[in-house]
Structure 1
């Protein structure tokens, strides 16, 4: 009888330690590889850097577009911009321009 209770208490202690070790291992693994773990944080940081640079590029592109639009406002029209748009939309060319004809595909 004494050996059974001693064995039972020993196995209970080992089981508790094993369960505790498994829980620590589970939470430790999730802290490193989980959705909000260390690896995910590094990936999010890289994505933030990439999106920030793309945002900066898009802001510059938008500013350039706004500049071109401001040159075409009705209160003051830039003659060069007007000439460029007319040539593009009407397929006109200035007599001094060099025009190269490409074969139709």
Structure 2
């Protein structure tokens, strides 16, 4: 009688193992909520990076050597060389 019950008991044990793993495992049903939260955060990060890329693309377009924006060039030169006219007032901005 013990030999006849061994095969169904082994099958039930294997099915229970895979059932528990499907619920509690790293890719299980309970981990799905965490994956959704990570997805939302990554989408927010992507949106912020996309906005930053758009801003940088605009600044690069303003510095195109064929038709550079004089205000942008002036701003960058003054910033990099720390140059100002004697009659100018410089107001530092906190960022």
TM-score range, shorter chain: 0.7 to 0.9
In the other structure, the counterpart of 1:97 is: 89
CA distance in 1, matches of 2:39, 2:53: 21
Match in the other structure for 2:10: 19
Deviations along 1:11-41, one digit per CA (max 9) or x if unpaired, are 3455455434322321111001223211233
- Higher helix fraction (1 or 2): 1
Write the distance in 2 (CA, Å) between the matches of 1:62 and 1:99. Answer: 27
| Residue correspondence of structure 1 range 1-105 to structure 2 within 5 A | 9=1, 11-12=2-3, 14-94=5-85, 95-98=87-90
TM-score, reference length from structure 2 = 0.75
Which secondary structure state, in structure 2, belongs to the residue aligned with residue 38 of structure 1?
A: coil
Tell me by how many angstroms 1:59 deviates: 0.9
Unaligned runs of 5+ in 2: none
Q: Match of 1:3?
A: none
Aligned residues: 91
